[in-house]
Chains A and B, each alone.
Chain A
């Protein structure tokens, strides 16, 4: 904490010293306060009101020069500061009208991941995002190259190369914690998105995208003989994500918006499986699994200040399991389904938001384990201080 303050102080002094502009960047502060109640049957905390530690996001954003912007987002979550995003974006001036984004940021896999959770209509990351990208979403370090395609309608192609931390988060607590993730950063992952946008009428618009990601998610020394004295065989474990997303908005006037949004992902990957005991230990082998996830929601904003909505989620993997190599994105046996409903109140635009969110999760285990569904109610308050950008589609 002390180190953060020292760094911040040095940054402020340095910026002032080397600044060639007397125009300050935009600074805004987002505060989120959640109060949750667990209504799960037999839960020790059933009915107890849990006042969570408030979360904060401090955004600093502005033009570096006529060609580039820079953004920083420092988050305070669960009692810790972290750099949520820090990137520069060359927005114009490059050949082929290319835009280049470099740093740490939310990766454009689907349309929801690039939107900060405080701007979502509901509370809680979609289940498949948690399983395949980790609890903080697809947030990674790398470069993205963006091109507008020469079509009569709007279409763009994004190609990125990343360290792969987010993929690591989908199977481990910390990507550097286990030996299997040692290679991360040396075997970068690739992400691509083909996005299209159609203005269906003056009042309705549709965005559709195809997403893909490919890379090595782990390297492992396999004991293929079940003999601890035998030489281990080093293997790379690949993964491929393919996704489809859409977002439809109908806005008949400035007070009413109907939004229907959905995303799906197909996960094709190599995973480690342990079979029967060989000479003195289980025989390890690689298998290829195919799993999937999806969500769809409907949100209806009326009178400009009220919104109601519902979401359905499905994903392979058990969402709130402690992450481990054979859970979450490597789990093709089990699945989680979620039903969510919410009511939002926006008294003055998005400067102050109140939300009541109910989520019910259903767990399905292939080996016959029975587990009651869990139900959570969350009351959320969000405030937004400072300038905020126009809302994207």
Chain B
């Protein structure tokens, strides 16, 4: 009898009583949904913080996550090309896709016909806007609106959480802006064209990229160009996501003495368990080494 009770309690505790079931494509969005939805939202993510969001394998376990979800939040701008296949596989007819890029001022939107000769170019603009904290405010607003629409009975609850989060975010934005004045006008080489929103926000000069074209692996001849560029331009940093291979950047670093900074996504490294901590890490690494 006692065992039965324990099993029953375990079963009950495993059931979710959240009002909204949500899935996020990236861990950054997961952190935002968690902060705004708190205990009223049951949220899981698909792409880990140390995984390249451009290429996610279509796995049945992801379909299972989407199967009973009410909402799925995506970065949009063609970053998550894998999402429609997963949604089809989930067979969820009522899931709503919330594209967080709707109100974002897009950068690098192609103005001429693009094709594969330019590399893996996103036809609707660069999707890595989440590295600009001001754009994260817009993302938070979209999330708040979506949760309030989905669960109007708790709109006030979400609004309070949203306002609290924005308050904290504003304080952090001011803190990061102060710290980053040290990096203003300084050149940085980035691995992939992920960083334009970040660089524009803090006045960083993008000196070049380790990839010869977006999504195209480094080549010896391009590495030589980057080495030349670093030497001539006085570049002190290569910044890259931690899911890319550091083989080429380290090779360049050995020759030029440049510092390589590997940046995780949220949950992509131990102790990086929020957007704030991720941005703290990036800002500290950049300002301490530039």
Q: Are A and B genuine complex partners?
A: yes
Chain A residues with a Cβ under 8 A of chain B: 69, 91-93, 97, 99, 148, 153-154, 156, 197, 199, 202, 205, 207, 251, 253-255, 303-305, 347-349, 351, 389-393
* Assembled-state Cα–Cα distance A393/B59 (Å): 5
What are 9 A-B pairs with beta-carbon distances under 8 A?
Answer: A154-B64, A156-B60, A199-B59, A254-B55, A349-B55, A390-B55, A391-B57, A392-B57, A392-B59
Q: Is B63 engaged at the interface, CB distance under 8 Å to the other chain?
A: yes
Contact A97 B59 (CB under 8 A): no
A342 CB to nearest chain B CB (Å): 21
- Contact partners of A92 in chain B: CB under 8 A: 88, 91-93
A195 CB to nearest chain B CB (Å): 8
Given the interface pairs A92-B92, A305-B217, the reply to whether A197 lies near B245 with Cβ below 8 Å is no
Contact A205 B56 (CB under 8 A): no
Contact B81 A390 (CB under 8 A): yes
Q: Is B124 engaged at the interface, CB distance under 8 Å to the other chain?
A: no
- Contact partners of A255 in chain B: CB under 8 A: 245
* Assembled-state Cα–Cα distance A40/B54 (Å): 45
Contact B57 A91 (CB under 8 A): no
- Contact partners of A156 in chain B: CB under 8 A: 60
* Assembled-state Cα–Cα distance A199/B194 (Å): 29
B110 CB to nearest chain A CB (Å): 16
B269 CB to nearest chain A CB (Å): 14
B60, B82, B245, most chain A CB atoms within 10 A: B60
- Contact partners of A97 in chain B: CB under 8 A: 91
Contact A154 B92 (CB under 8 A): no
Contact A390 B51 (CB under 8 A): no
Closest to B86 in A: A390
Contact A99 B91 (CB under 8 A): yes
* Assembled-state Cα–Cα distance A389/B1 (Å): 52
* Assembled-state Cα–Cα distance A305/B216 (Å): 11
Contact A253 B88 (CB under 8 A): no
Contact B93 A93 (CB under 8 A): yes
Chain B, residues 249-288, CB within 8 Å of chain A (1/0): the string is 0000000000000000000000000000000000000000
* Assembled-state Cα–Cα distance A305/B247 (Å): 14
Chain B, residues 141-155, CB within 8 Å of chain A (1/0): the string is 000000000000000
Chain B, residues 208-242, CB within 8 Å of chain A (1/0): the string is 00000001110000000000000000000000000
Contact B243 A348 (CB under 8 A): no
- Contact partners of B82 in chain A: CB under 8 A: 390
* Assembled-state Cα–Cα distance A167/B56 (Å): 36
Q: Is B184 engaged at the interface, CB distance under 8 Å to the other chain?
A: no
* Assembled-state Cα–Cα distance A351/B85 (Å): 20
* Assembled-state Cα–Cα distance A255/B67 (Å): 29
Contact A197 B60 (CB under 8 A): yes
Contact B88 A91 (CB under 8 A): yes
A69, A303, A390, most chain B CB atoms within 10 A: A390
Contact of A207 among B48, B56, B60, B64 (CB under 8 A): B60
Q: Is B52 engaged at the interface, CB distance under 8 Å to the other chain?
A: yes
Contact A254 B243 (CB under 8 A): yes
B58, B59, B88, most chain A CB atoms within 10 A: B59
